């Protein structure tokens, strides 16, 4: 292991808020980049107030920083700048001259009136990689619309395949339990920005990266999208069942639910051996996945009865022995208490200036040579004004004081 971070040669200006952009910025920070988060003076990122729950200080008192904000802003430096004023716009231009990447999620054209759009800032820094994250992209008939994760999950098809079948009690479309369209867009934006940097290495030129939550959501429909394109039939909600694999869903054991995820015919036979029903594996109707999918309505009730006859512990232990994927359905308390999660170091702590030790969820990337350190907590609002504006940009103390008095920073 070395102290060299993969992206410690990069500086990112994060002008985004809420989740997709901040998630992208946090990923860059985890990988070693210097990420400067620009926030509104006095209020900051909207999600600072998106609670409860709120961060609690060492004395047990609730602070004004929500857990939501803490989830997506680790490792960043916070500076406050009022971009609606000419002095604030000038600060952004100076920062752009020192940065490799800019992240923003304003409405299409929203920054042009401040002279902070790509065309304007690329004149300041021709090598700038300018990433715009919007609900619907920079072009197209919906480009001027505001886009939120819930709306995008619906419009992008994700909700149409999520939820119990409409024919069953409680059936119908459901959103995913986290803002997955936002998260995926943040990750795709990292890929887009790094690709644009690779292009810059070859040409010396930066470029505008146009990221749309709707585009990302449709692209992430993966096999479901291809199921439609090939078959010409829209997939529907199927509860926990899989459209292309059987058995691959949740089953109620005698005491608790389990997940059974049989990925091939060999695993199905092993399951049948453990269940004492080898006859099912020998039956041509169920011997192959193709036939199991075609006969799922008949096989499903049979499997329900088999699994309901024994407790969860039996299935978890016996199927693990023969290599059939099977597991419990954990709540988050159980997740963080899981010995494997503990061994992988998924729960980390950072030292926060206001509360001391603050729990955080580790970045899932594991390097053989580099480390991801959790030594930079989500910032206080404007915590790094002096560090960035004075030390990086060279703004003297008197000018900085005046900017503060005028509510520019």
Q: Clarify whether residues 351 and 216 are in a common domain.
A: yes
Q: Clarify whether residues 134 and 84 are in a common domain.
A: yes
Q: What's the CA gap between 184 and 238, in Å, rounded?
A: 23
Residue 231 maps to a domain: no
Per the CB < 8 A criterion, the answer to whether 115 and 124 are in contact is no
Q: Clarify whether residues 311 and 357 are in a common domain.
A: no
Residue 228 maps to a domain: no
Q: What's the CA gap between 199 and 197, in Å, rounded?
A: 5
Per the CB < 8 A criterion, the answer to whether 138 and 132 are in contact is yes
Please provide the distance, in angstroms rounded to a whole number, between the alpha carbons at the two ends of the chain.
40
Q: Clarify whether residues 267 and 347 are in a common domain.
A: no
CATH (domain of 73):
3.40.50.10540
Q: Clarify whether residues 178 and 270 are in a common domain.
A: no
Catalytic residue among 30, 45, 82, 182: 182
Task: Select from 328, 361, 396 the last residue of a domain.
Answer: 328
Provide, for the chain, the percentages of residues in helix, strand and coil under a 3-state DSSP scheme, each rounded to the nearest 5: 40, 15, 45
Where residue 175 falls (left for φ over 0; alpha for ψ -120 to 50; beta otherwise) is: beta
pLDDT at residue number 223: 97
pLDDT in tens, the chain (409 residues): 778 999 999 999 999 999 999 999 999 999 999 999 999 999 999 999 999 999 998 888 999 999 999 999 999 999 999 999 999 999 999 999 999 999 999 999 999 999 999 999 999 999 999 999 999 999 999 999 999 999 999 999 999 999 999 999 999 999 999 999 999 999 999 999 999 999 999 999 999 999 999 999 999 999 999 999 999 999 999 999 999 999 999 999 999 999 999 999 999 999 999 999 999 999 999 999 999 999 999 999 999 999 999 999 999 999 999 999 999 999 999 999 999 999 999 999 999 999 999 999 999 999 999 999 999 999 999 999 999 999 999 999 999 999 999 999 9
- Residue 22's domain comprises 11-220+342-405
Q: Clarify whether residues 377 and 252 are in a common domain.
A: no
Task: Select from 268, 296, 328 the last residue of a domain.
Answer: 328
Nearest-10 Cα torsion for 97, 100, 105, 108: 70
Residue 234 maps to a domain: no
Residue 238 maps to a domain: no
Residue 29 maps to a domain: yes
Q: Clarify whether residues 287 and 384 are in a common domain.
A: no
CATH (domain of 269):
3.30.1540.10
Q: What's the CA gap between 104 and 79, in Å, rounded?
A: 15
DSSP one-letter code for 387: I
Q: Clarify whether residues 377 and 270 are in a common domain.
A: no
**């020192």: which residue's tokens?**
98
Q: Which residues pair with 34 in a beta bridge?
A: 11
Q: What's the CA gap between 18 and 58, in Å, rounded?
A: 27
Residue 233 maps to a domain: no
pTM metric for this prediction:
0.95
Q: What's the CA gap between 221 and 30, in Å, rounded?
A: 27
Residue 236 maps to a domain: no
Q: Clarify whether residues 63 and 133 are in a common domain.
A: yes
Instruction: Outline where DSSP puts E strands in 53-193.
Output: 54-56, 62-66, 77-80, 101-104, 129-134
Q: Clarify whether residues 80 and 153 are in a common domain.
A: yes
Per the CB < 8 A criterion, the answer to whether 393 and 94 are in contact is yes
Nearest-10 Cα torsion for 331, 337, 342, 347: 60
Q: Clarify whether residues 316 and 360 are in a common domain.
A: no
Task: Select from 303, 328, 353 the last residue of a domain.
Answer: 328
Q: Clarify whether residues 161 and 73 are in a common domain.
A: yes
Q: Where are the alpha helices (DSSP H) in 143-264?
A: 149-155, 180-203, 213-219, 222-231
Domain count, the chain: 2
Q: How many CB atoms lie within 10 A of CB 46?
A: 15
To the query of whether residue 182 is one of the catalytic residues in this protein, the response is yes
Residue 242 maps to a domain: no
Tokens (6 digits) for 372: 């991801």
């Amino acid at each position: 292991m070395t102290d060299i971070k993969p992206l410690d040669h990069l500086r990112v200006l994060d002008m985004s808020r809420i989740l997709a952009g901040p998630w992208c910025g946090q990923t860059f920070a985890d990988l070693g980049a210097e990420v400067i988060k620009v926030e509104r003076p006095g209020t900051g990122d909207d999600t600072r107030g998106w609670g409860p729950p709120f961060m609690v200080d060492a004395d047990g008192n609730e602070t004004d920083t929500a857990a939501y904000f803490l989830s997506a802003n680790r490792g960043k430096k916070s500076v406050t700048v009022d971009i609606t004023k000419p002095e604030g716009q000038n600060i952004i231009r100076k920062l752009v001259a020192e940065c490799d990447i800019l992240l923003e999620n304003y409405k299409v054209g929203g920054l042009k009136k401040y002279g902070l759009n790509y065309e304007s800032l690329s004149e300041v820094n021709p090598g700038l990689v300018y990433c715009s994250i919007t609900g619907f992209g920079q072009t197209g008939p919906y480009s001027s619309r505001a886009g939120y994760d819930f709306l995008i999950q619906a419009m992008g098809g994700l909700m149409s395949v999520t939820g119990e079948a409409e024919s069953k009690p409680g059936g119908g479309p459901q959103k995913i339990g986290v803002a997955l369209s936002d998260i995926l867009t943040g990750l795709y934006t990292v890929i887009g920005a790094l690709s644009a940097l690779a292009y810059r290495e070859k040409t010396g030129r930066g470029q505008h990266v146009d990221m749309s939550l709707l585009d990302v959501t449709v692209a992430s429909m993966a096999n479901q999208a291809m199921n439609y394109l090939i078959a010409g039939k829209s997939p529907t909600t199927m509860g926990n069942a899989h459209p292309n694999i059987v058995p691959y869903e949740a089953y109620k054991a005698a005491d608790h639910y389990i997940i059974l995820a049989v990925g091939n015919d060999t695993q199905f036979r092993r399951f049948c051996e453990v269940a004492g029903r080898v006859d099912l594996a020998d039956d041509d109707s169920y011997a192959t996945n193709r036939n199991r999918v075609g006969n799922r309505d008949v096989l499903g009730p049979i499997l329900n009865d088999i699994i309901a006859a024994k407790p969860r512990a039996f299935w978890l232990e016996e199927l693990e022995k023969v290599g059939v994927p099977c597991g419990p359905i954990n709540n988050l308390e159980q997740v963080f208490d899981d010995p494997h999660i503990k061994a992988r170091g998924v729960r980390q702590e950072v030292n926060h200036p206001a509360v001391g030790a603050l729990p955080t969820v580790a970045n899932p990337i594991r390097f053989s040579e580099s480390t991801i350190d959790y030594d930079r907590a989500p910032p206080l609002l404007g915590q790094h004004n002096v560090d960035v504006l004075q030390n990086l940009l060279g703004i003297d103390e008197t000018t900085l004081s005046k900017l503060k008095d005028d509510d520019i920073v």
